[in-house]
A and B are shown apart, each in its own frame.
Chain A
Amino acid sequence: MAAPGGFSGTDFKQEEAFFLGFTRAQFLAFIAMVAFIVISPFFLYPVFLMKLLCFALFACAFNLLIGYVGLLSFGHAAYFGMGGYLAGHAAKVWGFTPEVAILIGGAVGAVLGLAIGWIAIRRQGIYFAMITLAFAQMVYFFAVQAPFTGGEDGIQSIPRGKFLGIVDLSSDMAMYWMTAAIFLIGFLLVHRIVHSPFGMVLKSIRENEPRATSLGYRTDDYKLLAFVLSAGLAGVAGGLKSIVFGIATLTDVFWTMSGEVVLMSLVGGLGTIFGPVVGAAVIITMQNYLAEFGAWVTVIQGAIFVLCVLAFRRGVVGEIGNWLRVRL
């Protein structure tokens, strides 16, 4: 069991893997999610859904660190934003196809994650959070200064291009399917990582790091690898977002974006595999549909934060899972 104050979801007795490493309940939830992804663009506005999927992937990447290694990064905007900038630059200036551009975004995130993570993982808890924040601020400074980012105007009119040079993505539906595919790959990747032997070691580090060390695991290496994977995926999400919207701007590197991804994971449920997805959906929907309420958006967002911390610490998915006595 996790410590009462820990950042993990409730752990139930280890269930048998049902399919693809999912438990039965997780598998059902996964099917429901895939069904929603396939059906929803016929009912809901695809651009909105694409945005949601980009942020869901970002939140999943973030959750890999906080939910399964217990590290709260307060600087994930750096990887998300720089991934977006480089992918945008690659697609617009270097003329790469979108999938290559997105991969470049991921690579940038990973490299940045390697450099920052190498330093940050030496510290724990609040110090870890602060050191990641410090580096993210430096990355922001770089983004403001570097000429290729276009300052606060950002990189504009990034072409969506053609997938593999063949499939034209300028229609929203085509772009949507590509976004959905990338999201699902990323989602399954996180799931696979978490349920691999590597993931088991990560969780043991979260629960009791000295013990993991005493068992002979080089915990720093594990943490660093998890950090790089998380940052790389965040970079992919950022790259995907700039291809979808055709823009890459400072908002995505600013520290409030780091706060937002914490909010998404918290609302959805930390350390649950579906939590970040649900959390991202809730927050993005709010941003879109509360736009009418003007200044109340900030108040409502704050209230949700407070409510989650006081009453629903497990998050939406965590609470549902707890209620059904299953792990989601």
Chain B
Amino acid sequence: MSHYYDDRDLHRFGDIGKNAPELWKKFEAWYSATFAEGALTAREKALIALGVSHAVQCPYCIDAWSEKCLETGSNLDQMTEAVHVAGAIRGGASLVHGVQMRNRTTGLSM
């Protein structure tokens, strides 16, 4: 294998159900229900999913949810803001641990 990620593998996502079909079926049902129109629209959920895809840095998810965002009517400005939300949370999550760093440093210092 020359690389770890292959975009064709996204179409083989269902293969993961081959050795645990019941669990896969439950995942599929839960996944479909999660992204159905509800209190949030399908478009809003797609933007959240796009942001989370960046937060978890999943290239398959980024491909899939970029397309879904376009399909559901979002534009590049909105999608870019969603990515910034993900980035800001990730950056903030790192920075807020600085308080732990400060606590530890204070505890160790004279």
Q: Do A and B come from one complex?
A: no
Binding site for B on A (CB under 8 A): none
